[in-house]
Structure 1
Amino acid sequence: MKRLHVHISVDNIADSIKFYSGLFASEPSVVKTDYAKWMLEDPRVNFAISQRGAETGLNHLGIQVESAVELSEMQCRIEALQPGVEKEEGVACCYAKSDKYWVNDPSGIAWETFHTLDTIPVFGEPDKAAASGETPAGTGACCVPLAKPRIKLSAEGPCCVPNTQKSTTGACC
């Protein structure tokens, strides 16, 4: 069975753990100084947050599978949508070792499909990223090789999220 994965970059890990623990009525299954993860059954989601210097907000989305067979099936699906997907085998990311495939949706949102092989004591492979010039050691999002810069909506632009900072009179989604 597949599980939706959501990863959000946050400004304050402690405040965010408190908020999401209350929202989900559950404590995280993994807590580190810069990362937390909830493996929820209702809804069935792998929800992760991290505080590692990346822009605050949606980091990436994904589909976590339970076997190499399911990962192969997902690879076929995404290859049909976007030939030449980014493949990573045995990669260290988010305190786990995984095999995964990466694509960007038409809006540039990074999606991964992955099979977790094991837990590991480090967030990722910062030395590898630093050596390639992609990310300084210990910062950023090791996990998102294809992420495109996010476009921010202006404060006056349309949205579906209530803005508690100013009153709005326009219609929302």
Structure 2
Amino acid sequence: MKRLHVHVSVSNLDDSVAFYTGLFAVEPTVLKPDYAKWMLDDPRVNFAISTRSAKAGLDHLGVQVDSDDELAEVHERLEPMKAGVKAEMGTACCYAKSDKYWVTDPQGIAWETFHSLESIPVYGTGDEDGGDGAACCAPTTAAETETEGSCCAPAPASKNTTGACC
């Protein structure tokens, strides 16, 4: 079964957690000093917020799947579109280890399709060594990143940025 994923960058996590907890009428399933996530069943959505991006607002959208087969199915639908699909297998990001594919839609919105494999105790790969996690979900080249402050998605080649993650 697939679940819509929405990630919003926020400037004040506490205020945003209070707002979305009220909106969804449930506490976050994951709450960290810089990140919160609600795994909702009504509507079926993985809704996440974080303070990791330099710019507040929509960070990216996505589709979370429950199996490798479902991830392969979504990937097969994306490949023929020639949309520049970027694979990240076994990546550590947003307190989870996941296999994922990134693509940017015609409007420039980053879409992540992913299968979460397990929870991890850090935001991303940089955190284990005391870093800020800025390397998590980072595409291979800076030109592939979405917007300043975001590392989670490919973008039009005209953008050259670096920054934080999911």
Paired position in structure 1 for 2:150: 141
- Does the CA contact (< 8 Å) of 2:85 and 2:101 recur in 1? yes
Structure 1 stretch 63-72 or stretch 47-56: which is displaced more? Answer: 47-56
- Does the CA contact (< 8 Å) of 2:83 and 2:103 recur in 1? no
Question: Runs of 5+ in structure 2 lacking a partner?
Answer: 143-147, 160-166
Deviation at 1:147, TM superposition (A): 4.1
CA distance in 1, matches of 2:3, 2:141: 33
Deviations, residues 91-123 of structure 1 (Å, cap 9, x unaligned): 001000000000000011000100000000111
CA gap of 1:140–1:83, structure 2 versus 1, over 3 A, is closer
Amino acid at match of 1:146: P
Deviations, residues 110-165 of structure 1 (Å, cap 9, x unaligned): 001000000001111236839x885xxxx9434x131467xxxxxxxxxxxxxxxx
Could you tell me the percent identity over the aligned residues?
62
Paired position in structure 2 for 1:129: 135
Deviation at 1:82, TM superposition (A): 2.5
CA distance in 2, matches of 1:28, 1:82: 37
Secondary structure at the counterpart of residue 106 of structure 1: coil
Report whether the alignment pairs 1:105 with 2:105. Answer: yes
- Does the CA contact (< 8 Å) of 1:82 and 1:103 recur in 2? no
CA distance in 2, matches of 1:122, 1:147: 26
CA distance in 2, matches of 1:10, 1:68: 31
TM-score by length of 1: 0.76
Paired position in structure 1 for 2:26: 26
TM-score by length of 2: 0.79
Aligned residues: 144
Paired position in structure 1 for 2:66: 66
CA distance in 2, matches of 1:35, 1:84: 28
Deviation at 1:5, TM superposition (A): 0.1
CA distance in 2, matches of 1:141, 1:37: 18
CA distance in 2, matches of 1:25, 1:124: 29
CA distance in 2, matches of 1:17, 1:83: 34
- Does the CA contact (< 8 Å) of 1:102 and 1:111 recur in 2? yes
CA distance in 2, matches of 1:22, 1:82: 41
Which of structures 1 and 2 has the bigger CA Rg? 1
Question: Runs of 5+ in structure 1 lacking a partner?
Answer: 150-173
CA distance in 2, matches of 1:8, 1:34: 12
- Does the CA contact (< 8 Å) of 1:9 and 1:52 recur in 2? yes
